[in-house]
Amino acid sequence: MKRLFNALFLIPLLLMSSLLKAEDGYRLWLRYDLINDQLILNLYNKSITGFMIEGSSPTLKAAGNELQIGLNGLLGRVIHPITSIKKDGTIVAGTVQSSPLIAALNIKYRLTQINDEGYIIISTVYQKKTIIVIAANTDKGVLYGTFHFLRIMQTHQSISGLSIDNSPKTKLRLLNHWDNLNRTVERGYAGLSLWDWKTLPDSISPRYTDYARANASIGINGTVLTNVNANALILTKEYLVKVAALANIFRPYGIKVYLTARFSAPVEIGKLKTADPLDPDVIAWWNKKVEEIYSYIPDFGGFLIKANSEGQPGPQNYKRSHADGANMFADALAPHKGIVMWRAFVYDNNVPDDRAKQAYNEFVPLDGQFRKNVIIQVKNGPIDFQPREPFHPLFGAMPSTPLMPEFQITQEYLGFSTHLVFQAPLYEECLKSDTYSEGKGSLVARVIDGNLEGHSLTAMAGVSNIGSDRNWTGHPFGQANWYAFGRLAWDPYLTSDAIADEWLKMTFSNDNKFVENLKKVMLASRNITVNYMTPIGLHHIMYAGLHYGPGPWVDKGRQDWTAVYYHRADSAGIGFNRTSTGSNAVGQYFQPVRDVYESLATCPENLLLWFHHVSWDYKLKSGNTVWEELCFRYNMGVDSVRWMQKQWLEAKGIVDNERFEKVSSLLVKQEENAKVWRDACLLYFQTFSKRPIPEKYEKPDKTLEYYKNLKYSF
């Protein structure tokens, strides 16, 4: 055991901060407070006597540090690292390469069954002593296994007879930060950007380490630091040294940094006359720029690129294809094993076709034309992070090209950081949708994990909701969406129920009644929000620009940014006809999905107005007409927020007062906003339906003009 790591384990600033202000939400789900169930505590104390980390890499040091603060906090006693096994109950963590003890165990075959980031956690006997082993093929795997073991303890599960084999099902699990160099965050509602570019690289905030640690705990292994609406300055030396400083902090936690590349950078900072991806001078400029980046950041992950979308420059400016543009970057990055994530979020107001169809129309003809280190990043639905959308038709439609989903963690269309909306059910709904691209069982999850089409480059991205607010996400429950994304990126087949259960126990309490009550709230919250915002398939009827409050009357500006483009309400009915008699967006789906959406009789009613323009008097399965169902859904949404408030009241005395009051006040705001949504939308749509709001419902106490004149801001 010559390489045994026995250095001083430093308590991170995260823990020190928590001692000063323990329940402000800063510690996220890594609280490690003393277990308050005496029976569980006694069992754990009998089962754990010490720990050994064999190896001295920065990543293994991070794993050892985590074990020490986790065990000390949960067990309420100081546990120091040890150098040899003298008692039952030692935890041993390492790899076959770093640990002679693990190399001596009969687990080599088992290690061949996990991937480079996977791990095994087992209870076994070594030299007549019962021990717990956290083993992996790489140091990163050990770190992930350590977090898994501590999660077991945080959620009060048994640690006897452990036999766990776990590997991530996607290769790249990334946060996309829509952060600007001036520290504003596009669609960010939790303060300023974490990245203080003015003080980097000389001043390193402890939050950077805490951020990396939190991400590693849920398996996130990459971060795109900058906004997809890119600024070329990030590629200059002035900023690359700052990016390198962040990369150095993140590296021990298994996290690579990525940047957004502005397509026109050769013109803007390179002084070339063109950014044509086939121009030799442009190709040479990017090759040199990539070499420069890797000289600062040897493990740089690659580029995320938004091109020819919403005014961003791209290859089409030069009559080139998306494949031409992506491949130029891919060729520059390939010698360094870097990748290109090319966003498929493209649409053009000058294209007369349905916006929902445009990404499919542009990208499907390019299938098979991209380099092997290019992956196409596709939003979960065909419009834009709506409260509910059908899955994007591109999933399954490009079998020769790896695709990765882009989910939004920040709540751009879901009430910002004011509303309690647990988005795991939204992610799960997409991931478990069946594309039928290769027959029944062709789930979106199987497309993106490479299982269906045989791709080795696999990934999932989430648009970050993290900011400079003390509790990271603004709303305490916003943390659950960050957590859920990481867990689903690791394993797209997990359930929202299981994720909510973990997060509640780790973040608040293991009290059974509390967990069951709040889990019901979390699992219902997304549908509740859909009901008071965009029921039965309505979409994109938000206040222009900010997308916070209602704006179904918005009809000014470019057509595909107006609400009337999407709901198409008139005296005859409401909804967007995307069937074969309308835009034929249904034609982009495989059978039998196409026919399901095409038919009024089989179209899911929660997507009815997405695919059909229907009469106000059309009868739904409930027996209600469309107008009556809208009235019912909007009112049920408001009533359900009141139910959420009542359920949260029962948490008083279980949850600390600071976080209890914070959530309580936000739920009051959520109810107020839900009422505005309900009243504004019903009054507006009533101008077309000419039907009364049924007497059993609350009546709007303001006029339609009042709601039209409301102004929203960040």
Tell me the C-alpha distance between 505 and 660, whole Å: 15
Beta bridge partners of 81: 51
What b/e sequence results for 26-45 when a residue is b if at least 16 CB atoms lie within 10 Å of its CB, and e otherwise? bbbbbbbeebeeeebbebbe
Put the strands of the sheet holding 119-126 in their side by side order: 4-5, 50-54, 90-95, 129-136, 119-126, 163-166
How many CA atoms within 13 Å lie on the side-chain side of 54? 24
Tell me the C-alpha distance between 94 and 325, whole Å: 43
Tell me the C-alpha distance between 460 and 445, whole Å: 10
How many CA atoms within 13 Å lie on the side-chain side of 204? 17
Of residues 669, 649, 676, 650, the one with CA closest to residue 419: 669
Does an H or E element contain 423, and which? Answer: none
Structure tokens at 393: 């038709």
The answer to whether the beta carbons of residues 679 and 707 sit under 8 Å apart is: yes
Q: Which of 37, 165, 310, 672 is catalytic?
A: 310
Residue 410: helix, strand or coil by DSSP?
Answer: coil
Q: Which of 54, 384, 598, 639 is catalytic?
A: 384
Structure tokens at 690: 């000419």
Q: Which of 139, 210, 412, 560 is catalytic?
A: 412
Residue 412 designated active-site: yes
The answer to whether the beta carbons of residues 461 and 341 sit under 8 Å apart is: yes
Alpha helices (H) along 195-279: 206-217, 237-250, 265-268
Computed from CA positions of residues 470, 473, 476, 480, in that sequence, does the dihedral angle turn out positive or negative?
Answer: negative
Beta bridge partners of 574: 614
Of residues 547, 550, 479, the one with CA closest to residue 714: 547
Question: What are the DSSP calls for 636-664, one per residue?
Answer: HHHHHHHHHHHHHHTTBTTB-HHHHHHHH
The answer to whether the beta carbons of residues 633 and 415 sit under 8 Å apart is: no
Tell me the C-alpha distance between 580 and 321, whole Å: 29
Structure tokens at 655: 């949850």
Residue 43: helix, strand or coil by DSSP?
Answer: helix
Tell me the C-alpha distance between 621 and 104, whole Å: 64
Question: What are the DSSP calls for 469-527, one per residue?
Answer: STTSSSSTTHHHHHHHHHHHHH-TT--HHHHHHHHHHHHT---HHHHHHHHHHHHHHHH
- Among all residues, which ones are annotated catalytic? 310, 384, 412
